[in-house]
Amino acid sequence: MRHFVLLIAVCCAISTSAAAQDYMLGDIHIMKPWSRPLPPVSVNGAAYMTLMNKGDSPDTLLSVSTPAAKKAEVHNHIMEGGLMKMRPVGALDITPGGAAVLQPGGYHVMLMGLTKPLVEGQSFPLTLNFERAGSIEVTVMIFVPEESGHGNMQHDKKKTGG
């Protein structure tokens, strides 16, 4: 019984650390790629992460791709006519010493035409293509972040500035 409890504790520690991986590609530090679980009928989703440029030269995220969706693009939420809308941004610049934060209600990787449901506890590969640093495949973990609550509460806070 004692070994069983120890095994469970070790598995929990491993799964917690696996839920938030970091990657380095040249001067670009890719922190904690993640996505929310969605109902099986969802056709679109999103992925989030932080991209930090630890170098002295600017870099640009040129494109993204994944087998988890028919199409993937970097999008941003903008206010237009009093409504929150999403728009593709094309390339995303990352200044030297700066960061591009991809988060709900802001920049994000839009996943259009999901090829399978985004199920909590699972993951999918996402390839990021940078102008200077090159390409890297990261693992996007699917989970509900503790601080987000339910529904679009975090998104609503972004719209109201709260």
Q: What's the sign of the alpha-carbon dihedral 130, 109, 48, 76?
A: positive
Domain that holds residue 113: 2-160
Instruction: Return all residues near 44 (Cβ < 8 A) that are at least 6 apart.
Output: 69, 110, 111, 112, 113, 114
What pLDDT score does 2 carry? 46
Place of tokens 């939420």: 77
Instruction: State how far Cα 160 lies from the chain centre.
Output: 23
Task: Supply the pTM of this predicted model.
Answer: 0.78
Type of residue at 116: K
Tell me the sheet residues that pair with 84. 79
Q: Give mean pLDDT, residues 79-100.
A: 91
> At 92, is the pLDDT very low, low, confident or very high (cuts 50, 70, 90)?
very high
Residue 160 in this model has a pLDDT that exceeds 50: no
pLDDT tens readout for residues 132-147: 999 999 999 999 988 6
Q: CA 114 → CA 32, 57, 71, 98, distances in Å?
A: 21, 35, 8, 31
pLDDT tens readout for residues 68-88: 999 999 999 888 888 888 899
Backbone φ/ψ region at 161: left (φ over 0), alpha (ψ -120 to 50), beta: left
> At 104, is the pLDDT very low, low, confident or very high (cuts 50, 70, 90)?
very high
CATH code where residue 61 lies: 2.60.40.1890
Where helices occur in the chain by DSSP H, the ranges are 2-18, 153-160
Instruction: Provide the token pair at 62.
Output: 């040129």
What's the domain count of the chain?
1
What pLDDT score does 20 carry? 62
